[in-house]
Amino acid sequence: MKIHYRLSGGIALAVLLACTAIPASADRGGNGGDDGRANPRQDNPGHDKDRRDDQRRDNNHSRPPGYVLDNRYRHDHYYPPRGYVAPALPPGHRVVPYRGQNYYYHGGVWYRPSGTRYIVVLPPVGMYVPFLPPYYTNIWIGGLPYYYAGGVYYTWRPEQRGYVVAEAPPASEVSELPATPDQLFVYPTRGQSEQQQATDRYQCHRWAADQTGFDPTQPLGNLSESQHASKRADYQRAMKACLEARGYSVQ
């Protein structure tokens, strides 16, 4: 025997509304809605890392087209290639005159006028520069500290109280050792400027090397491992004494 159920119009409408609401409720639950189920992205401890990775990928995509990575000496910054032509100079650029020609600088990039536009160039060797790029890599060449950024080498000139653009050295002459040994951490305590710190570190390096007969930026020569360790310790003590006498905290 078949049994037939008849629903009133009001009841049938209620059932229909309940059925059509189920998928919407499920969607809200999957996104951490108010159905009591957790949002997997909120409770996942790796979500913040994923978001940072996404931001890094977004930053990579937002770099101006045509920029290239400069990874020499692990510098790892992006610059427009030489010969790139910009329709206008970036806001906040600086002007550096040299032998009757104005060069324009911004963010480690150098420009020169080309008609009504500006072309990316290397600055001329010997040009005086009263500042360093915002990002640079310390290297040593022949026992002297240099600063590298975007294909340009700078060296500090104490007598000029500034930096000079230097020639690119042969790769075999470059040492990436820091200006002070790895075990020394140096902090200015008298508000010394960046230029003053560069001068003090170099002068203390030269003095310590002269006093101890050891230069960590040079090849080891015929020193044994134990002799090298002893000489390096002497050099560190001399560096520490010199820098502390000039108003630095050395640890």
Contacts 24+ apart (CB under 8 A), 125-129: 125/165, 125/166, 125/167, 126/164, 126/165, 127/96, 127/98, 127/103, 127/164, 127/165, 128/96, 128/98, 128/157, 128/160, 128/162, 128/163, 128/164, 129/96, 129/105, 129/154, 129/162, 129/163, 129/164, 129/165
pLDDT value at position 31? 37
C-alpha span between 70 and 77 (Å, rounded): 5
- pLDDT for the residue numbered 45: 37
pLDDT of residue 69: 92
Q: What is the pLDDT of residue 171?
A: 80
Q: Which two tokens stand for residue 56?
A: 């890094």
pTM assigned to the model: 0.52
CB-based contact 148:112 (threshold 8 Å): no
Six-digit token string for 3: 């049994």
Query: What is the C-alpha to C-alpha distance for residues 239 and 180, in angstroms, rounded to an integer?
Result: 8
How far is Cα 176 from Cα 73, in angstroms, rounded to an integer?
7
Q: Residue 88: what pLDDT?
A: 95
pLDDT of residue 183: 60
Tens-level pLDDT at each residue, the chain (251 residues): 444 434 444 444 343 344 444 333 333 333 333 333 333 333 343 334 333 343 333 344 456 678 999 998 888 899 999 999 999 999 999 999 999 999 999 989 999 999 999 999 999 999 999 888 888 888 888 767 788 999 999 988 877 778 899 998 888 888 765 444 446 788 899 998 877 887 888 888 889 888 988 877 665 556 676 777 788 888 888 999 999 999 999 88
Residue 21 is predicted with a pLDDT of 42
Edge to edge, the sheet with strand 101-106 lists 85-86, 117-121, 109-114, 101-106, 94-98
